[in-house]
Amino acid sequence: MIERTPVLNIATHVILTMGLIFLLLPMYLVIVAASHSLQDVVSVPPNLLPGDQLWINLQAAWDKGHLGQRFVTTFIVAMGVMTGKIVLSCITAFGLVFFDHRLKMPIFWAIFITLMLPLEVRIVPTYAVAANAFLPFQTLLDLSGLTWLVQALSGIEIKLEWNLLNSYAGLIMPLVATATGTFLYRQFFLTIPEELVEAAKMDGAGPLRFLWDVLIPLSRVNIAALATIMFVYAWNQYLWPLLVVTDQSYAMIAVELSRLVPKFSATGGEVPKWHIAMAGTLIVMLPPIVVVVFMQRWFVRGLINTDK
Amino acid sequence: MADIQVHQVRKSYGKTEVVHGVDLAVATGEFIVILGPSGCGKSTLLRMIAGLESVTAGEISIAGRVVNDLEPHERGCAMVFQNYALYPHMTVAENIGYALKVAGLPKADRLAKVASVAASVGLTEFLDRRPGQLSGGQRQRVAMARAIIREPAVFLFDEPLSNLDAKLRVQMRHEIRRIHNQIKATSVFVTHDQAEGMTLADRLVVMNKGVIEQIGTPEDIYHHPASVYVAGFIGSPAMNFLSGQISAQHHAVILANDARIDIPAALAAQHDGALTQIGLRPEALTLVPAGQGQITATFDFAEETGPAKLYHFRFEDLTISVLSPEKHDLQHGQPMAIKAQPDAVHLFTAETGKRLTAHDVARERVPA
């Protein structure tokens, strides 16, 4: 029940306003800091009004951090993660919801467990796999004795190797293989009435036809929601790109941003260039904001998931 | 055009058997209605014919071809679902034409066919709308059109009218019959509404608890119900049941309180002394002046139905309803005499509930 009394109305608005200030204040301070020269930024008491150096600082940050190139890299990775995630989770959920087979529950639980083991937790084994994507297969072959057998018989040593370090594949793939999207799709697919499936069967549509002609058009809203979340998620990735990439041409933008933020030890007693760092932050945050604002309508509908 | 043969078909879910060996033969072009309460297995039977449920045991053939292992669309059936099952994101035209699109028909042919089918069910002006913008009756028409366009040999209906309001239901019923007369496809129609069954069917199949109780024309089933179950299920207002004992001497069934209901002499002679359930349709009973009746019961209350009035009486612990077009001014508690027409009396054995007839008496009495 939603209760409406004047007192409650005022109280809720006060809470909402406080939350808004709490969220927006740091953002405001970033803008303020990004629009002053270094002297003004570090002056005491601090300036609380924006200055006139914003454009100059933005340009400085753009050049210093090679943000143009980082933008391209990050955009490719974010799009890759987004697309991969949508395709993978759609197909997985399709298999889990619309087909009956013995492995259904084990697979479901295996996917579920990945929810509790995010990339950060399993980062070391993931790195090992990224260094050689065939490592799990190699291990299986070694353990089963096949490697030894083949070498004894033919003298050929089986050595499978596929290095994903310093590549887009290495950046994208580990971020794609997680469960969130699968769950979103699964919940949506479960709301599809059984009769719709049967009608498609009677009309002669096979499973893939049904997926393409019926399920995907119906889940457009969910796709939009998932795309938004995944784009922002991938854009903000820091730890994994930091580890897997040493070649700077593959560096992602969050990693670069951390380099803009001055470390005191590195500056050798110089005053850190906070104004440049903040200007860089503004640039880096722009694409996620644009995506969210643009997709907001779909995004909300997709998550609350009501039928029309 | 195709006939349907259902031979000893069973369906189990795990250990629970829901359809217990059903036999049914549907002739080409026939309109069959399967009637039964919810959970009697009628929808399951229909879905097995459609290919949406696997057949646990037995054989189903359509047009002489065993279809047990065929995919639904290979069986030449089209189905109309209870909730219409329209594709919500497609327009009416796309919905109707989807089967043809899947079959790979060129677009021009498809659109021409969609237009002609839509015209036949009065949907021409709605072709560009989405199902969400249509009323229940219109959605039902789309579902029909979607089935018609495939020119199916067999038409299957799974309670297609139960989501419509009463008036629309009658209207769609007529429409379905009209379409059937036009395209002459073999049709199987599942419903729990006896009015639909009685009016639509060439032959009616009454199911209960996973078995077929009776197959026959609506008229046959109404006048000669094979069991207490069928007698009670068919007919509105529902049949009255009383129990008594057959007496050959009186050509009657003797009820409690020495009330008697006359029955044909031959029947009485063959079943002398048998305990029986006697079924009397409210419309086969008349109210008569005191002393001329067979049963005397006290008046309880009356219901107006329009052309006639339904009078409810108490007899012992039972209720007897009488449908009478004449107007009677009765007071609550007033005793009244009721008379039954002897040829409209239905007799069933007290033990099995099967119909007692003059013919099979000999068979039934031998073991005893």
- Asked whether residue A235 carries a pLDDT value surpassing 70, the answer given is yes
Nearest in space to A173 (alpha carbons), one of A241, A92, A112: A241
| Residues of chain B contacting A193 with CB distance shorter than 8 Å | 83, 85
Share of chain A above pLDDT 70, in %: 94
By Cβ distance, the residue of A196, A205, A307 closest to B85 is: A196
**pLDDT recorded at residue A267:** 57
Which residues, at least 6 apart from A90, have a Cβ–Cβ distance to it below 8 Å?
A181, A185, A211, A215, A216, A219, A223
- The amino acid present at B368, given as its one-letter code, is A
Residue A299 covered by a domain: yes
How far is residue B234's CA from residue A140's CA, in Å, rounded to a whole number? 69
Q: Give the separation between CA A96 and CA A108, rounded to whole angstroms.
A: 7
Q: Is the pLDDT of residue A164 over 80?
A: yes
In the predicted structure, residue A39 carries a pLDDT above the cut 70: yes
Residue A170's pLDDT band, with cuts at 50, 70 and 90, is: confident
Q: How confident is the model at residue A266 (pLDDT cuts 50, 70, 90)?
A: low
Q: How much is the pLDDT for A67?
A: 86
Calculate ∠ Cα B48-B52-B53, nearest 5°: 55
Cβ separation of A199 and B81 shorter than 8 Å?
Answer: yes
**Residue A201 Cα distances to A100, A208, B325, angstroms:** 16, 11, 51
Contacting residues of A for B86, CB less than 8 Å apart: 199
Give the count of beta carbons closer than 10 Å to the beta carbon of residue A110. Answer: 11
Q: Which residues contact A54 (CB under 8 A, 6 or more apart)?
A: A31, A34, A35, A279
User: For residue B172, how many C-alpha atoms fall within 13 Å in the half-sphere facing its CB?
Assistant: 24
Tell me the CB-side half-sphere exposure of residue A258, using CA atoms within 13 A.
10
Q: Is A274 exposed, middle or buried (0-12, 13-18, 19+ CB in 10 A)?
A: middle
Structure tokens at A216: 């995907």
- What is the pLDDT at residue B363? 45
The gap between the terminal CA atoms of chain A, to the nearest Å, is 22
Inter-chain residue contact B79 with A199, CB threshold 8 Å: yes
Across A89-118, average pLDDT = 88
Helix (H) or strand (E) holding B298: strand B295-304
Confidence at residue B364, expressed as pLDDT on a 0 to 100 scale: 43
* Confidence at residue A302, expressed as pLDDT on a 0 to 100 scale: 64
User: In the prediction, which pLDDT does B211 show?
Assistant: 92
Report the C-alpha gap between A151 and B191 in whole angstroms: 71
d(CA B131, CA B145): 13
| Residues 6 or more apart in contact with residue A120 via CB below 8 angstroms | A239
* Amino acid in position A69: Q
How much of chain A exceeds pLDDT 90, in percent? Answer: 20
Domains of chain B: 4-231 (3.40.50.300), 238-365 (2.40.50.140)
Residue A262: per-residue pLDDT? 65
CB atoms within 10 A of CB A222: 25
Q: Which residues of B touch A215 (CB under 8 A)?
A: none
A236: pLDDT strictly greater than 80: yes
Helix runs in chain B, H state only: 42-50, 92-103, 107-120, 136-148, 166-183, 194-200, 218-223, 228-233, 265-270, 361-365
Mean pLDDT of chain A, nearest integer? 85
The two structure tokens encoding residue B102: 């899947």
Could you give the dihedral angle defined by the CA atoms of residues A14, A16, A22 and A28, in that order, rounded to the nearest 10 degrees? -100
Chain A: residue whose CA lies nearest to B150 = A203
Give chain A's domain count.
1
Is A62 inside any structural domain? yes
| 3-state helix/strand/coil string of B199-227 | HHCCEEEEEECCEEEEEECHHHHHHCCCE
pLDDT of A265 above 70: no
Interface of B with A in 40-99 (CB under 8 A): 50-52, 71-73, 77-79, 81-83, 85-89, 98-99
**Residue B337 near residue B292, CB atoms below 8 Å:** yes
Q: Are B322 and B310 in contact (CB under 8 A)?
A: yes
Report, as ranges of residue numbers, the positions in chain B whose pLDDT lies below 50: 360-368
Q: What are phi and psi of A197, to 5 degrees?
A: -60, -45
Residue A130 has pLDDT above 60, yes or no: yes
**pLDDT number for residue B365:** 44
Alpha helices in B149-290 (DSSP H): 166-183, 194-200, 218-223, 228-233, 265-270
Contact between A201 and B89 using a beta-carbon 8 Å cutoff: no
Under a CB-based contact definition with an 8 Å cutoff, are residues A191 and A305 in contact? yes
Domain housing A226: 54-118+178-304
Nearest-CA distance A203 → chain B (Å)? 5
Place of tokens 């694409």: A287
Which of A193, A205, A307 comes nearest B83 by C-beta? A193
Who's near B234: CB < 8 A, 6+ residues apart? Answer: B35, B194, B197, B198, B206, B221, B222, B225
Least confident of A119-123, A296-300, B242-246: A296-300
A155 is a domain residue: no
Top residue of A100, A196, A203, A212 to mutate, by most chain B CBs within 10 Å, is A203
Phi, psi torsion values for B313, nearest 5 degrees: -120, 155
pTM of this structure = 0.80
User: Is residue A70 over pLDDT 80?
Assistant: yes
Interface size between A and B, measured as CB pairs under 8 A: 59
**What is the pLDDT, as a whole number, of residue A1?**
55
Which of A98, A202, A216, A306 best tests the B interface by mutation, with the highest count of B CBs <10 A?
A202
pLDDT value, residue B361:
42
- The answer to whether residue A137 is domain-embedded is no
What's the CATH code of the domain at A67? 1.10.3720.10
A195 to chain B: which residues are within 8 Å by CB? 81-83, 85
CA distance A130 to A124: 10
Res. A181: pLDDT tops 70 = yes
What mean pLDDT is predicted for residues A261-265? 65
